[in-house]
Structures are given as structure tokens and as C-alpha cells.
């Protein structure tokens, strides 16, 4: 029989036994194995990412075997008679690279306690998590005046190497989510509220992790945009007084039956978003004036400019809404004694028959009955009726 030499590799936990062999040249059968050493797997192999190889400060490198031993083990039992106590330890190494392999190696190692010579190790690699775990929209006021700025700010909780973050600010209005502008890399948007009614805000966040694309929505926050009587009365006192002065002056001039007034329109047009280029104009409030004249015998009726009221048709974000109405009632100073009326809003289908979804004010005399021939400078009163604030 011819005898040949060779090397055998026998897998073991965390590596291989490597032995010199003698074999039957003809059959390849192993006749003898000598000089066996256990060679441990290096989880990093030979590539350059191996943090054990880099960094210079390798004093705690578990592959060095602690006490300066040989990673390949030691088969010379005679030298280790006093080193048979075996210890174990867990070693963790975090890998931070930019190719998507961030993670942690955890190795459970057993070694000779005294020499530190490594006997065995079981290593596992766990990829670092990469995700946006939450996107939180900062609290918003429950109610705002239409046109007021609100600050939409979303804060992210992230783990790992989250990249390419994009924010899309959105509002739910009239049955659908609408984008408030182009996608942004800023987590903040100052939004002048362009609606009357209930609106819900959220932010959709898009990002990548390790080359994969993800989407997460923030929590949603409702806001009620409403215009109220107090705003109306405090903002337009001059115009209300002026309408009354015109009423008196016109009545004195021609002895007919005059009323003056205006609608207050909130204009949220100019586009849905605010971040478009060029920026959208801010929402505005406009008074639309009207006046009517009639004889003493005829009814004088308020005339209202019809816009998208805060009810009815389903306007988009960005529309014109009537949010207030003011008018005067005519003095009957130059009418006959047979003409009279109860002061305050007229019965339906006139004042009381009009939209009830926003504040109305009528300036009339503060008396029980307005009868033809009264003094024109009797005290007046602002009668308020219909909704205290816009409803929708």
C-alpha cells in the first residue's frame, strides 16, 4: 500500500479541526491524523470591514486570545496541566459601515481561564434596526380663526441610519386628504388656515433605510376653523357705524326707506398649499357692501352676496366663504303713522330665512315698536341672530 500525506478539515462549532493526515493513496482513506489544531472562523473573514483588524487599539480583540495565546489553539497538553479551568464570556462588537451592514456581532466564547487561549466561540450577527418608529405632529389649537397661521411640526423617533427623509404636509377636508404643498425636507410648515370648518392635519414621512423605501404617517390632529361674532363686532365697528350714518343721511335726504350693510367674506383662495413657488398670497377678509331703497309702503329687504357659505356645496381648501352679515333697518321718520314694525331681524323669508350658519347683526332702534314719524335719533341697538360662530 502506498501512503500519501494531506490535510483534513473537520467542521466544529465556530471553526474547523485541521489535521495532518496519512492516507491510502489508492483509496484516499485516512490512515492517521496528527498535529490537529482547531481553527476558528472569523466572522469578518478577510475583508476590510473587520473591525477587529482596524482601529489600531486592539487590546480587547477577542481574536487575540487574551493572554497572547495562539488563536489556533494548543495541542500540547503537557504545558497546560495547570490550565484546565474553562471560562466563558460574551463579547459584542458593533459594526458601523455605510453599505447597509450596520449591526452587532455577539460571540459567546469559552477559553482557558489562565492562559486566555480560546477554545470555542459561537458568533451571531444581528443587523441594526433602521426605521422611523414614530412621527408625532406637535399639538395644535382646537379652534382657530380662518386665516390664522398654525405651525405644523412633526418630530421623528428614529433608529439606525435613516436617510432621505421627506415630509408631506396634508389636510383632510371635504372627504379627502389634500397636500398642502410640495414635499419638503423641513419638518415644519407654517400654514395659514384656508378653510372654514373642520380640518384634520397630518404629515406623511417618506425615508430610506439600507436602500429600502418606507412611509409612515404622523398622528392626525383636528382643528376647527371658525369665525365668531366677537371677531365680527370688534373688527368692523367703524364700518357698522358708517352704515348707520349713511342710513340716517340718505333717509333725511329723500325721505325714502333706506338700509345699508355688508357681507364679510373670507377668501382662502390662491391654491391649496402655501409652500408652492411662488408662495401663495395670504388669505384675506373683505367687506362687500350693499344698500337698498324703497318707499314706506314697500318692504326693504337685505340683499346678500352669495358666496360659498360655510354649508351646502363642498368647497375645496381655498375658497370664498361668507362668514358675517351686517345691515341696518330703515328709520320710519318720514313715513305715515300707519307704518310700523317690530325692531330686530325681519321674519322669514327675509332676515330669519337667510343662512343661519354665520353671525348676523342688524342695527335697529332700541324700542318696542318703530312707528312712522318717530325721531330719527332714537337710541339704536345691534340685534344679533343666527349662529354665534360659523357652522358647517
Binding residues (CB under 5 A) for Zn ion: these are 302, 346, 351
Least distance in Å: CB of 267 to Zn ion?
25
- Which residue's CB is nearer to Zn ion, number 247 or number 302? 302
Least distance in Å: CB of 382 to Zn ion?
13
* Residue labelled with grid coordinates 481553527: 39
Q: Would you give the DSSP letter of residue 253?
A: H
Cβ neighbors of 217 (< 8 A, separation 6 or more) are 135, 202, 203, 204, 205
Contact yes or no for 92/106 (Cβ under 8 A)? yes
Least distance in Å: CB of 301 to Zn ion?
7
- Which residue's CB is nearer to Zn ion, number 115 or number 325? 325
- Which residue's CB is nearer to Zn ion, number 173 or number 236? 236
Q: Is the preceding peptide bond at 241 cis, omega within 30 degrees of 0? A: no
Least distance in Å: CB of 328 to Zn ion?
8
- Which residue's CB is nearer to Zn ion, number 170 or number 351? 351
Least distance in Å: CB of 384 to Zn ion?
13
CA–CA gap between residue 18 and residue 35 (Å, rounded): 8
Least distance in Å: CB of 364 to Zn ion?
8
Contact yes or no for 46/25 (Cβ under 8 A)? no
CA nearest neighbour of 359 among 328, 383, 384: 384
- Which residue's CB is nearer to Zn ion, number 275 or number 302? 302
- Which residue's CB is nearer to Zn ion, number 206 or number 289? 289
* Residue labelled with grid coordinates 348676523: 360
Distance of CA 58 to the CA centre of its chain: 46
Q: Would you give the DSSP letter of residue 347?
A: P
- Which residue's CB is nearer to Zn ion, number 214 or number 350? 350
Least distance in Å: CB of 239 to Zn ion?
17
Q: Would you give the DSSP letter of residue 45?
A: T
Alpha helices in the chain (DSSP H): 229-235, 237-254
Least distance in Å: CB of 379 to Zn ion?
19
- Return the residue nearest Zn ion (CB atom): 351
CA nearest neighbour of 184 among 317, 272, 277: 277
- Which residue's CB is nearer to Zn ion, number 23 or number 346? 346
Least distance in Å: CB of 344 to Zn ion?
9
Least distance in Å: CB of 350 to Zn ion?
6
> CB 290: neighbour CB atoms within 10 A?
16
- Which residue's CB is nearer to Zn ion, number 120 or number 346? 346
- Which residue's CB is nearer to Zn ion, number 120 or number 304? 304
Q: In what order do the strands lie in the sheet with 149-159?
A: 131-137, 149-159, 188-192
DSSP 71-115: TT----GGGGTT---EEEEEEEEEE--SSS--EEEEEEEEEETTT
How many secondary structure helices (H) and strands (E) does the chain include? 2, 22
DSSP 353-383: GS--SS-EEEEEESSS-EETT--TT--EEEE
CA–CA gap between residue 36 and residue 34 (Å, rounded): 5
Amino acid at each position: 500500500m502506498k501512503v500519501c500525506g494531506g490535510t483534513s478539515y473537520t467542521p466544529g462549532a465556530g471553526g474547523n479541526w485541521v489535521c495532518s493526515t496519512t492516507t491510502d493513496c489508492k483509496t484516499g482513506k485516512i490512515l492517521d491524523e496528527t498535529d490537529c489544531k482547531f481553527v476558528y472562523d472569523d466572522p469578518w473573514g478577510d475583508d476590510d470591514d473587520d473591525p477587529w483588524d482596524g482601529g489600531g487599539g486592539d487590546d480587547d480583540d477577542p481574536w487575540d486570545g487574551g493572554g497572547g495565546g495562539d488563536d489556533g489553539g494548543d495541542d500540547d497538553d503537557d504545558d497546560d496541566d495547570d490550565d484546565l479551568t474553562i471560562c466563558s464570556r460574551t463579547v459584542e462588537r458593533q459594526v458601523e459601515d455605510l453599505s447597509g451592514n450596520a449591526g452587532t456581532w455577539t460571540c459567546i466564547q469559552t477559553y482557558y481561564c489562565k492562559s486566555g487561549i480560546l477554545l470555542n466561540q459561537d458568533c451571531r450577527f444581528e443587523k441594526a434596526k433602521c426605521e422611523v418608529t414614530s412621527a408625532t405632529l406637535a399639538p395644535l389649537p382646537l379652534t382657530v380663526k380662518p386665516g390664522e397661521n398654525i405651525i405644523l411640526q412633526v418630530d421623528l423617533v428614529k433608529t439606525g441610519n435613516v436617510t432621505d427623509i421627506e415630509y408631506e404636509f396634508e389636510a383632510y377636508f371635504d372627504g379627502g386628504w389634500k397636500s398642502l404643498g410640495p414635499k419638503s425636507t423641513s419638518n415644519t410648515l407654517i400654514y395659514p388656515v384656508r378653510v372654514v370648518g373642520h380640518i384634520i392635519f397630518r404629515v406623511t414621512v417618506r425615508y430610506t433605510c439600507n436602500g429600502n423605501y418606507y412611509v409612515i404617517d404622523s398622528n392626525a390632529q383636528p382643528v376647527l376653523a371658525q369665525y365668531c361674532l366677537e371677531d365680527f363686532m370688534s373688527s368692523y365697528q367703524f364700518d357698522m357705524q358708517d352704515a348707520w350714518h349713511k342710513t340716517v343721511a340718505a333717509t333725511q335726504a329723500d325721505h325714502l326707506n333706506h338700509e345699508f350693510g355688508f357681507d364679510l367674506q373670507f377668501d382662502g383662495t390662491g391654491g391649496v398649499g402655501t409652500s408652492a413657488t411662488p408662495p401663495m398670497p395670504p388669505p384675506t377678509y373683505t367687506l362687500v357692501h350693499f344698500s337698498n331703497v324703497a318707499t314706506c309702503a314697500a318692504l326693504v329687504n337685505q340683499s346678500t352676496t352669495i358666496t360659498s357659505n360655510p354649508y351646502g356645496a363642498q368647497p375645496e381648501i381655498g375658497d370664498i366663504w361668507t362668514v358675517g352679515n351686517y345691515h341696518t333697518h330703515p328709520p320710519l321718520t318720514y313715513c305715515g303713522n300707519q307704518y310700523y314694525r317690530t325692531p330686530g331681524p325681519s321674519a322669514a323669508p327675509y332676515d330669519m330665512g337667510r343662512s343661519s350658519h354665520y353671525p348676523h347683526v342688524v342695527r335697529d332702534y332700541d324700542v318696542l315698536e318703530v312707528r312712522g314719524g318717530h325721531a330719527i335719533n332714537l337710541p339704536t341697538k345691534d340685534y344679533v341672530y343666527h349662529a354665534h360662530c360659523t357652522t358647517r
